[in-house]
Amino acid sequence: MTAPTIHATEIGTEGPRVVFLHGLFGQGRNFTQAAKALVPDLRSVLVDLPNHGRSAWTETTDYEVVADVVAEWLRTTYDGEPASHVVGHSMGGKVAMVLALRHPDLVDRLVVSDISPARSEGAGEFEHLLDSLARLDLPALELRSDADEQLAPHISNAAVRGFLLQNLRSTDDGFAWQANLDLLRSELAVIGGWPEIEATFDHPVLWLAGEKSDYVRPEHEETMRSLFPRTRLATIKGAGHWIHSEQPDAFLSALRVFLLA
Dihedral angle sign, alpha carbons of residues 136, 142, 147, 149: negative
Identify the active-site residue in 89, 103, 241, 244.
241
Q: What are phi and psi of 55, to 5 degrees?
A: -85, 165
What is the rounded distance in angstroms from the CA atom of residue 200 to the CA atom of residue 33? 32
Active site residue 213: no
Identify the active-site residue in 44, 55, 90, 120.
90
Describe the strand order of the beta sheet including 43-47 as a list of residue ranges.
Answer: 8-11, 43-47, 17-21, 84-89, 107-113, 205-210, 231-236
Active site residue 68: no
Q: Please count the other Cβ atoms lying within 10 Å of the Cβ belonging to residue 16.
A: 16
* Cα dihedral 31/122/67/27 (nearest 10): -30
Identify the active-site residue in 182, 186, 214, 226.
182
Active site residue 241: yes
Listed residue (48, 41, 61) closest to 21, CA to CA? 48
DSSP string across 121-173: TTHHHHHHHHHHHHTS-GGG-SSHHHHHHHHTTT---HHHHHHHHTTEEEETT
Q: What are phi and psi of 193, to 5 degrees?
A: -90, -165
Pairing of strands 17-21, 43-47: parallel
Active site residues: 90, 182, 241
